[in-house]
A and B are shown apart, each in its own frame.
Chain A
Amino acid sequence: MSQVQMSRPKTAADEPTVSPALPTADQQFATVAVHAGEARQKPGDSITDPIFCASTYTFENTQSIIDFIEQDQQREEYGRYGNPGERVVERKLAALEGGEDAVLYSSGMAALVGLLMAKLSAGDEVIFFDECYHRSREFCTKHLGRFGVTTRQVKTCDYAAMEAAITPKTRMLISESPTNPHLSVIDLERFAEIGRKRGVDTLIDATLATPYNLRPIAAGIDFVLHSATKYLGGHNDLLAGTVIGSKEKMEPVRNLRGIMGAVNGPQNCYLLGRGLKTFELRMQRHNENGMMVAEFLAGHPRIERVYYPGLPSHPYYEIARKTMRGFGGLVTFLVKDADWRATADVIDAVKIPRIAPSLGGVESLIEQPLVMSYYQQTPEARKQFGIYDNMIRMSCGIESADDLIADLGQALDATA
């Protein structure tokens, strides 16, 4: 008997135990969203995939365990290494993104941590553009440092500064696109080229764009990350995260997830897959609503500035127009001559969007970054990150744009 060793965790791109649906290369996005990753004939002949709640999987006898190990068989073993429903949604995510392998996590932050922990060692350096989700920044600056990893921040879209910051120890270049909450849009090909030229991996957190609006892998980016809690799940009722990349680059990432264990639950995986079936329709509506709300706000006398990549006034409008299919549902804006309290009054006066963190669901959400995410920061820190007292961030859901605009209008009028 050969030495017993840990089995290689299977990748989403591996042959599933049942034959997958049609090849997806020649299918349109909507069809991919409904069918990709799924077997044509599913267990029990169900039209939808069953939810496997099992934590572990049985072997018929001792020899079948040995065969599993020695022959590297594709089958389930233990829930932390994979679940049939999770594999379905991973394959679907990979197909939508145009990547080889997607690894699913229990949240977007778990995905970021999982990727970085798999790719970095003590002494390594990462560089990221400074406009980003504050918890991503916190993990990189406070926690990676504890493991001997150095983090450098450079000004968003300052490609020369990023390139200049690269040292022989640099392992990863990181950015969001669009960024949160300023919605700056990265020139992905330029970003990817810097990484390729210097032999450094590139990571784009494309949560705000989604694979419907942006194709980072086609632009040469190595890893795409999503908080799938947002547009991919789409219903504000599950947490999930994913990293997508080539099979080769994802293998250590998948291996480490099997050890760290930040896997998603079977019910969540099912709801995520269910949400993806209407993904194109929802994104089209989010894009329409985002654009209409941004245009309304841009023309409103009480608004000082609107950050939305679909507006010609946006500093990155040209690159957004060239690289994005739509501009998403997130709109950030500044209320004219308003202090933080007068800005809060506008938020408190809206009736349809709920006041809550998060974004990307069918329900519109609204928040004041100062209060929601930067309340405990010093004014200097807020200024450094471009978080103004009069800033509001709204995630446009898929309600009627007319209703959203009328609601924002009445809130702005009532608090004028």
Chain B
Amino acid sequence: MQFRTRAIHVGNEPCPQTGAVVPPLHLATTFVQPGAGEWGEFDYSRSGNPTRKAFETTLASLEGGVGALAFSTGMAATHCVIASLKSGDHVVAGSDIYGGSYRLLHKIANRAGINVTLVDTNDLAKVEAAITPATKLVWIESPGNPRMSITDIDACAKLAHRHGALLGIDSTFATPVLTRPLELGADIVMHSATKYIGGHSDAMGGALVVRDAALLKELYFVQNATGAVMGPLESYLCSRGLKTLELRVREQCRTAQALAEWLASHPRVARVLYPGLSGHPGHELAHRQMGGQFGAMMSFEIRGDLAAGKRFAESTKLFSLAVSLGAVESLIEQPASMSHASYDATDRAKHGIADGLIRLSVGLEAFEDLRDDLESAFAAV
């Protein structure tokens, strides 16, 4: 079955008791067991829940993994990976990653004696140079956040494996519609399901999908022991979101491409960071790795100072000023003061997160309406 058919049917078999075409939402915290010491498929909802399982099954099919684990947030999913490491282990992570991941690695993981080196993962020589005998995990994001840098997943996987490390990737921006990292050699795919997977700005969630059954078991052990599981209602909404995932992502990509091209030729814009533009350093690689579409996230710098950027972000009428991304509603934000405020100021500067940078999450509205909205914001600055 093709991707969009699996998104609707895999994991969503009609209820065998009632025939309900959509499986029921199981809010139960606990499940009646066949006998003392005999265990059914589900026992306690932290350990497993039918509604969560349905979502995990669909997502695993879409990513081409052996299984998936759903978490209460994307950070809980990333934390599960970090919590599977031990004191003395080393992580090599990309420099263009979500501020929350940066914070987790630098301010939480370090307390457990896990060391981190940030590198520009576009430069494979730098990645290799950062690897030490203690490196257990290479953690990348592609496209990166907020600079939309593109990392070669296949090459990073080979490199990590050569040094006995796992490759984990935050694939939130790409979604399985555009990139399936497990097929390219990655070991762990992480999603903030809050974004495109849920897709409607109304459910918090995270997910890990893996290629190897032993690794799945190990991560499940951590998940069950630490307990940050996705709730049943969120699981239901994420499953509902997956059914339109391909339609949404492809349409959002088309609109984003048109907006990026329009912005690139706008006199008030200094530069646009979007992998779909031929001038973007990752364009060729993105074309190969993302199947001809480039995502619906972009950043751009407007000509003007920090205050001008702030005014611009506050002047749109359709784009709402908010962090998060990936939903049907278009959002706008200023990374330096919002999504990446948890970076140290010096690291922000070092990693190219300029104060005047504006990040857009392109939603499902019509291109013409979004373009007109940005044009009126330029006029207001």
Nearest B residue to A42, CB-CB: B320
Of chain A, the residue at the smallest CB distance from B247 is A281
Q: Is B41 an interface residue (CB 8 A)?
A: no
A34-B5 Cα distance, complex, nearest whole Å: 24
| A398 interface neighbour in B247, B366, B370, Cβ under 8 Å | B247
Q: Looking at the assembled complex, report how far the CB atom of A131 sits from the nearest CB atom of chain B, in whole angstroms.
A: 26
Q: Which of B14-22, B26-34, B45-53, B348-356 contacts A (4 or more CB under 8 A)?
A: B14-22
Q: Which of B193-216 contact A (CB under 8 A)?
A: 200-202
Q: Does residue A56 face the partner (Cβ distance < 8 Å to B)?
A: no
- Digitize B239-256: 1 where CB-to-A-CB distance is under 8 Å, 0 elsewhere: 010011001100100000
Asked if residues A397 and B322 are in contact (CB atoms below 8 Å), the reply is no
B2:A274 contact, CB within 8 angstroms: no
* Cα distance A400–B10 in the bound complex, in angstroms: 14
Q: Is A356 an interface residue (CB 8 A)?
A: yes
Interface: B120 (CB within 8 A): no
Closest to B2 in A: A400
Tell me if B368 is interfacial: C-beta within 8 Å of chain A. yes
Shortest distance between the CB of B358 and any CB in chain A (Å):
18
Whether A237 contacts B9 by the Cβ 8 Å rule is: no
Q: Do the beta carbons of A281 and B9 come within 8 Å of each other?
A: no
Mark B366-381 against chain A: 1 for CB-CB distance below 8 A, else 0. Answer: 1011100000000000
Instruction: Give the size of the chain A interface in residues (CB under 8 angstroms).
Output: 36
Instruction: Please report the C-alpha to C-alpha distance between residue A397 and residue B340 in the assembled complex, in whole angstroms.
Output: 40
How far is it, in angstroms, between the C-alpha of A47 and the C-alpha of B363 when the chains are bound? Answer: 13
B interface residue count range (under 10 / 10 to 19 / 20 to 34 / 35 or more): 35 or more
Please choose the segment from A120-128, A160-168, A359-367, A384-392 that sits at the chain B interface, where 4 or more of its residues have CB less than 8 A away.
A359-367
Known: A31-B365, A363-B21. A48 touches B243 (CB 8 A): no
Q: Given A31-B366, A277-B328, verify A403-B248 contact (CB < 8 Å).
A: no
Taking the complex as formed, is B318 at the interface, i.e. its CB lies under 8 A from any CB of chain A? yes
B8 touching A363, Cβ below 8 Å: yes
Q: In the complex, A49→B346 CA distance in Å?
A: 38
Interface presence of B364 (CB below 8 A): yes
Please tell me if the beta carbons of A35 and B365 are within 8 angstroms of each other in the complex. Answer: yes
Task: Please choose the segment from A4-12, A22-30, A255-263, A296-304 that sits at the chain B interface, where 4 or more of its residues have CB less than 8 A away.
Answer: A22-30
B21 touches A362 (CB 8 A): no
Whole-angstrom CA separation of A282 from B243 in the bound complex: 10
Contact of B21 among A35, A278, A281, A356 (CB under 8 A): A356
Counted as pairs of residues, one from A and one from B, with CB atoms less than 8 Å apart, the total is 105
Q: Does B128 contact A (CB under 8 A)?
A: no
Name the residue in B12, B363, B369 with the highest tally of chain A Cβ atoms < 10 Å from its Cβ: B369
Residues of A close to B129: CB separation below 8 A: none
The listed residue (A47, A280, A397, A402) touching B329 by CB distance below 8 A is A47
- Assembly CA distance A237 to B14 (angstroms): 12
Given A30-B365, A47-B322, is A277 in contact with B200 using a C-beta cutoff of 8 Å? yes
Q: For the complex, what is the distance from the CA of A352 to the CA of B240, rounded to whole Å?
A: 18
- B329 and A356 contacting across the interface, CB-CB below 8 Å: no
Given contacts A274-B202, A363-B9, contact A281 B364 (CB under 8 A): yes
Whether A399 and B21, one on each chain, are in contact in the complex, defined by CB atoms closer than 8 angstroms, is no
A235 within 8 A of B: yes
Q: How far is the CB of B125 from chain A (nearest CB, A)?
A: 42
- Given A27-B369, A398-B8, residue A277 in contact with residue B21 (CB < 8 A): no
Which residues of chain A come closer than 8 Å to B327, judged between CB atoms? 47
Answer yes or no: A321 CB below 8 A from chain B CBs. no
Q: How far is A274 from B233 in the complex, measured between Cα atoms in Å?
A: 14
CA distance A277 to B320 in the complex (A): 16
Enumerate chain B residues within 8 angstroms of A282, measured Cβ to Cβ. 244, 247
A314 at the interface (CB under 8 A from B): no
CB neighbours (8 Å) of B248 from chain A are 278, 281
- B interface footprint on A136-147 (CB within 8 Å = 1, 0 otherwise): 000000000000
Given contacts A22-B318, A47-B201, A236-B21, A399 and B247 within 8 Å (CB-CB): no
Q: In the complex, which residues of chain A have a beta carbon less than 8 angstroms from the beta carbon of B2?
A: 399-400, 402-403
Contact check, A354 vs B365: say whether CB atoms are below 8 A apart.
no
A142–B324 alpha-carbon span in the complex (Å): 54
Give which listed residue, A31, A235, A278, A352, contacts B9 with CB less than 8 A: A352
Q: How far is the CB of B339 from chain A (nearest CB, A)?
A: 15
Flag whether A40 is at the interface (Cβ < 8 A): yes
**Which B residues lie within 8 Å of A399 (CB)?**
1-2, 4-5, 8-9
A30-B364 in contact given A35-B329, A48-B201, A352-B9 (Cβ < 8 Å): yes
Task: Give 9 nearest A-B pairs by CB, closest first.
Answer: A28-B366, A400-B2, A399-B5, A31-B365, A281-B247, A277-B328, A31-B369, A403-B5, A30-B366
**Which A residues are within 8 Å of any B CB, using their own CB?**
22, 27-31, 33-35, 40, 47-48, 235-237, 274, 277-278, 280-282, 285, 352, 354, 356, 358, 361-363, 365, 397-400, 402-403
A-B contact pairs, 5 of them (CB 8 A): A48-B201, A48-B329, A363-B8, A399-B2, A400-B3
Given A28-B366, A278-B328, A282-B244, 12 other A-B residues pairs in contact with their CB atoms under 8 A? A28-B368, A29-B366, A34-B328, A34-B329, A47-B320, A278-B247, A281-B248, A397-B8, A398-B247, A399-B1, A399-B8, A403-B1
